[in-house]
Structure 1
Amino acid sequence: MYNLKRILIGRPLKSHEAGEQKLNKKKALAILSSDALSSVAYGPEQILLVLVTVSTLAFWYSIPIAVGVLILLAALILSYRQIIFAYPHGGGAYVVSKSNLGTYPGLIAGGSLLVDYILTVAVSVSAGTDAITSAVPALHAYKVWIAVLFVLILTVLNLRGVTESASVLAYPVYLFVIALFILIGVGLFNIVTGKVSPELHTPIGTPVAGISLFLLLRAFSSGCSALTGVEAISNAIPNFKDPAPSNAAKTLMAMGTLLAILFSGIIILAYYYGIRPLAEVTVVSQIAEHTFGRNLIYYFIQGTTALILILAANTGYSAFPLLAVNLAKDKFIPRMFTVRGDRLGYSNGIIILGLLSIVLIIVFGANTEGLIPLYAVGVFIPFTLSQTGMMVKWIREKPPGWGGKLTINTIGALISFVVVLVFFMTKFSQVWPVLIFLPVMLFIFYQIRKHYDATAEQLRLSTCEPAMHVEGNVIILPVAGITHVVENSLNYAKALSAHQIIAVYVSFDREDEAAFEKKWKEWQPDIRLVTLYSPYRSIINPLSKFIDIIQHKAKETNYEVTVIIPQFIPKKGWQHALHNQSSLMIRTYLLYRKNVVVATVPYHLKK
């Protein structure tokens, strides 16, 4: 297992090598913006899917709706840029909300994002797998296992370290950006030169029966799914090379610019080409086919789109562990999330994210389209809270130029809040789980915090009861036969200078009990043997009752009770399954008994 781990993950890194695992702006842009950039592949389509319920004549509304999405994008980018400089140690929406709005809003933001990053991995990988199986229908029956395989590959890549995973994953992301720039550039050239028939689209401003403000808001909120992943950079500031805040801010602006250009380009081309959303063909695929036909460039665009959809999951791998670190430092989730692995990444967070994503993929059969609204609302709740938190911060601190900053955050908070409301009003059947998992997560967070606080209080020397004074030691040695294993444990017990050593044998048969007593008297006449008959063939129950009796007597004289458990260790790991696990069961049971010391004496077999 050790050799396999080294092959998959690489050699361990020393702690002082952490600086070498920081990201430059080019690599950070690739792995932290993959989620946001990939949403260009489905964000515009989500707008058209709502508008088509009225008529294809309503497609011109996609232009003003896209303008609204871009306004929100600008507000979010400018706001998160402020968050980066205000909270340079990362944490994003969780830290902002907790610092300015209180613990509950902070946990709502943090819990939403934790779940959202799990959904990011599951949805992105499933979407990418769909693109592959659409191109190769013979693989459709295996799409769940293909999706699981991709998650495992991404998990291993991220366990190898941030820098190494970024070096591998950066190329497909930039290839996707280049592919879409080619598509948008050629498409706009065709429009300008009149190669696209004006009959394919309805002129902007054409009256359309059945259009309502409610439907436009619904289309707008659906289009806002293109903004998922915008917050990832503010969570991952510690992954940047110094000066980290400055590099993170520049990367965020670059991501926002790219996202705005690509999103606008796809919307414009879809409008002018009169693209109609189809179940079996994506909008991007239709635009590419209209522009180039089914040639090499078309397949290049489709291939890079499939890759970016899969690699969008890497945003979750970059942001989830760092968010988990902040929550763990505040004692709301297990402390294991703060531990760095062999390659200096927060490997526990990476592994847990991968496992939960695989569970989600298997449960939903890699058909996670219905999770996209839940995925989007899980982002816009933290968006709303972080914007509101920054508003409170500017009003309270009033730094130079705070009026402009407050305006940006107010616009972002209001639009984000409207998006959340519209999601709940129009897609309640898909987003209602939020109303269940958020209270459940808050309850879990507080139970974990309560446990850590109680543990700290009990372990603190100033508050704990004084330790019991121990006069001596009574050793109980459960034995299953007369073997080298028992002999080894008995010699160890004798070396402890115990007040008394009691060997305990649990028998299921009276004749066997008498025979064992005779053998023991011949082998160890100086060691007291107690035999316990168990008519129900249980070892734990009679042994437990006997320990109770000894413990009661030992308490009167301030003696400690120690149970020494003999255990032999097979040479090969798989051989454990060939033996009963009596010693393991006894040890597990006794660990939860108060005032009993449990020690295991291993005896290693040689063949």
Structure 2
Amino acid sequence: MLKRLVIGRAMRSEELGGTLLPKRIALPVFASDPLSSVAYATQEILLVLTLGGLAYLHFTPWIAAAVVALMTVVVLSYRQVVRAYPSGGGSYEVASTNIGPSAGLVVAASLLVDYVMTVAVSVASGVDNIISAMPSLVDYRVPIALAFVVVLTAMNLRGVRESGRLFAAPTYLFIGGVLIMVGTGLFRYLLGDAPVAESAAYGVAPVPGDANLAGLAMVMLVLRAFSSGCTALTGVEAISNGVPAFRKPKSRNAATTMAAMGLVAVTMFAGVTTLAIVAKVHITDDACRLTGLAGECGSYTQRTVIAQIAASVFGGESSVGFYFIQAATALVLILAANTAFNGFPLLASILAQDRYLPRQLHNRGDRLAFSNGILALAIVAGLLLWAYQAEVTSLIHLYILGVFTSFTLSQTGMIRHWNRELRTETVAAVRRRHRTARVINATGALVTGLVLVVVLATKFTQGAWLAVLAAGVLWLLMRGVRRHYDTTAAELAVTGLHGEMSPPSRVLAIVLVSTLHKPTLRALAFAHAFRPDHLEALTVAVDRRQATELQRQWEDFGIQVPLKVLDSPYREITKSVVEYVRSVRRESPRDVVAVFIPEYVVGHWWEAPLHNQSALWLKNRLLFTPGVMVISVPWQLASSARANRSTPRAPGSVRRGEPTHKSEADSAHG
């Protein structure tokens, strides 16, 4: 079976403990996004600064230093979250508990949008690096990106542990490759043989209006470059959402993994940015702004920053080192989406448990992964890649806004958490630790709040308004879902047994008939077994000759059940039956009407459309009528019996995941 081939054998619920992750696997599973962002964070800084030509590239090291400081603060802050809230709610739980449900929903909506963007940006950036190594693939950008989303989806449906094992090697190869590249490049620089990028000889023509900026305009350009560089922080919070997936002791292992992730990410980002400055990498949003090109700018494909650095360090684009870095970078960028494939379903599951999302998102699939959340993420991210043609530059403007919203609110919530703890704690040593943690979280809240303002100010008109709109719509939808669940729960709550358990005065049974055959007789026999107070058969005379023939057969066979024929000059079956049933209810409002509908059960999916579907409409309409019970009486066709025997099984067992294709209407109405 294709499902088993792709996903693997189904796992028992008791096997959930075997899917928990050790730290060495958890690092690539939950931290591949912030680690892989090294491949494009520096590039995003340079792309913004070169809007004004080469004059503003001297701001690069200062912007990089600010990003490093910010990442350090955020990692330290989230280590406090992991220790204080090990249940896996992360920023959502912190904000909900300490600020309020509305703030928690803001965090949740922002993170869900950002997880979708993580998949889209990571896959698109990975495809960019593949095209840097093989420019002939540029016309196949979107199909390649969508194919990678399909592969990631299939692997994650196999379970967190299995996908983690598969993705661990590329992540560690990328880390090792980048560190070797950084070490080699800096060693050459110290020896006086600094690497030189292929674009170092090109000039950059500034965008009209962005040359010779001064004052507030220059500050805004630098802040915009900083906000673009903050993409290096995306995915940092994923570990706090995934604490339940760690082995025990969960909090300690998650905090250790987060510290390791922060140290490695900071080292790689600082190293790549330093080499980009040393090698004089020049990159623009439009190749036609590069000056000094030998040919037509329209046919020139710019290589990514990390590709140019690798070529300059290892001796050109034909070197083994260059192809290794490109392959490792492309692979890890695509696998960075795995952070979202783990974070999104976990968060969606918690939201579903809290009744803010459909409950199906809380269900685990055959491999104990949250399959519905994985599929939802893949579909939305795929649509986004298709709509934006898998262009990183277009997608990046929608990115990171949600991350800093969750950062700011969660750190503010942690300040309240520590204040509450300090009001009850009396041990001096513990109080000192709480105060230190509060200072860390207060610093994190202040810094990330300022960055959120910067990101909003610099990216809103560039496309970030779409992310804000999506998060706002999602926030409203989640509140609506919760309101519906709360209303339904209140309506269904049992307040007493007297009214709910009292039997109806009578049971009136109606068997729907289109023709006299075996399914009709089974439905009549089944209705008799209920011993109703009144039983009758009902048919609709769409064709008067057929109705007359049915009445004749009914009398010839001597069936002792009265057959009522409804006239339908406009050939409307559903409306005629529904109006008749409602009229019976109006005459006897204290009675229950049981409607029996014979139906076929077919064995193949392609057989279902071959049978009339009118009973499906009948069921849907009748279910909205109070006091009416709709009962399906199945008749298994030979094809369903053959399909049932096609796979051996133990007596009384049910084949897992096997679909049963039913025509909802065949025998009762044609």
- After superposition, the Cα gap between the structure-2 partners of 1:301 and 1:119, relative to the gap in structure 1 and judged at 3 Å, is same
Q: Does the 8 Å contact 1:569/1:605 carry over to 2?
A: yes
Residue 437, structure 1, aligned to residue 470, structure 2? yes
Instruction: Return the alpha-carbon distance in structure 1 between the equivalents of residues 63 and 392 of structure 2.
Output: 25
Alignment partner, residue 631 of structure 2: 599
Paired residues for 1:243-392 under 5 Å: 243-278=249-284, 280-292=302-314, 293-294=316-317, 295-392=319-416
Paired residues for 1:71-150 under 5 Å: 71-150=69-148
Structure 1 stretch 252-261 or stretch 214-223: which is displaced more?
214-223
Give the total of aligned pairs. 597
Alignment partner, residue 559 of structure 1: 591
Amino acid in the other structure paired with 1:539: I
Instruction: Return the alpha-carbon distance in structure 2 between the equivalents of residues 500 and 197 of structure 1.
Output: 93
TM-superposed CA distance for 1:468, in Å, is 4.5
Q: Does the 8 Å contact 2:196/2:280 carry over to 1?
A: no
- Fraction of identical pairs, as percent: 40
- After superposition, the Cα gap between the structure-2 partners of 1:146 and 1:524, relative to the gap in structure 1 and judged at 3 Å, is farther
Q: Please point out which of 573, 587, 606 is paired with 2:619.
A: 587
SS at match of 2:378: helix
- After superposition, the Cα gap between the structure-2 partners of 1:138 and 1:532, relative to the gap in structure 1 and judged at 3 Å, is farther
SS at match of 2:72: helix
Amino acid in the other structure paired with 1:315: T
Instruction: Return the alpha-carbon distance in structure 2 between the equivalents of residues 198 and 360 of structure 1.
Output: 36
SS at match of 2:51: coil
Structure 1 stretch 154-163 or stretch 517-526: which is displaced more?
517-526
SS at match of 1:286: helix
Paired residues for 1:471-510 under 5 Å: 471-510=505-544
TM-superposed CA distance for 1:395, in Å, is 2.9
TM-superposed CA distance for 1:269, in Å, is 0.4
Q: Does the 8 Å contact 1:361/1:368 carry over to 2?
A: no
Alignment partner, residue 571 of structure 1: 603
Instruction: Return the alpha-carbon distance in structure 2 between the equivalents of residues 301 and 177 of structure 1.
Output: 10
Question: Any idea what the Cα deviations from partners look like across 1:525-577, whole Å, max 9, x if unmatched?
Answer: 4111111122222111000110011122332xx43101111001223221112
- After superposition, the Cα gap between the structure-2 partners of 1:329 and 1:264, relative to the gap in structure 1 and judged at 3 Å, is same
Residue 232, structure 1, aligned to residue 265, structure 2? no
Q: Does the 8 Å contact 1:489/1:564 carry over to 2?
A: yes
Amino acid in the other structure paired with 1:438: A
Could you tell me which runs of 5 or more consecutive residues in structure 2 were left unpaired when the two chains were aligned.
202-210, 286-301, 423-430, 640-670
- After superposition, the Cα gap between the structure-2 partners of 1:166 and 1:154, relative to the gap in structure 1 and judged at 3 Å, is same
SS at match of 1:504: strand
Amino acid in the other structure paired with 2:633: V
Structure 1 stretch 375-384 or stretch 144-153: which is displaced more?
144-153
Amino acid in the other structure paired with 1:413: A
Q: Does the 8 Å contact 1:474/1:554 carry over to 2?
A: no
Question: Any idea what the Cα deviations from partners look like across 1:428-464, whole Å, max 9, x if unmatched?
Answer: 2211124422332222112111111122222221268
Residue 397, structure 1, aligned to residue 403, structure 2? no
Amino acid in the other structure paired with 2:619: R
Structure 1 stretch 252-261 or stretch 334-343: which is displaced more?
334-343
Alignment partner, residue 448 of structure 2: 416
Amino acid in the other structure paired with 2:487: A
TM-superposed CA distance for 1:396, in Å, is 3.3
Alignment partner, residue 189 of structure 1: 187
Instruction: Return the alpha-carbon distance in structure 2 between the equivalents of residues 475 and 130 of structure 1.
Output: 66
- After superposition, the Cα gap between the structure-2 partners of 1:360 and 1:467, relative to the gap in structure 1 and judged at 3 Å, is farther
Residue 514, structure 1, aligned to residue 548, structure 2? yes
TM-superposed CA distance for 1:392, in Å, is 2.1
Instruction: Return the alpha-carbon distance in structure 2 between the equivalents of residues 406 and 216 of structure 1.
Output: 31
Question: Any idea what the Cα deviations from partners look like across 1:385-437, whole Å, max 9, x if unmatched?
Answer: 11111122223333433333233222222222222222222222211124422
Question: Any idea what the Cα deviations from partners look like across 1:232-263, whole Å, max 9, x if unmatched?
Answer: 00000000000011110010000000100000
TM-superposed CA distance for 1:197, in Å, is 7.8
Q: Does the 8 Å contact 1:457/1:463 carry over to 2?
A: no
Amino acid in the other structure paired with 1:109: V
Structure 1 stretch 516-525 or stretch 69-78: which is displaced more?
516-525
SS at match of 2:52: coil
Q: Please point out which of 460, 463, 486 is paired with 1:453.
A: 486
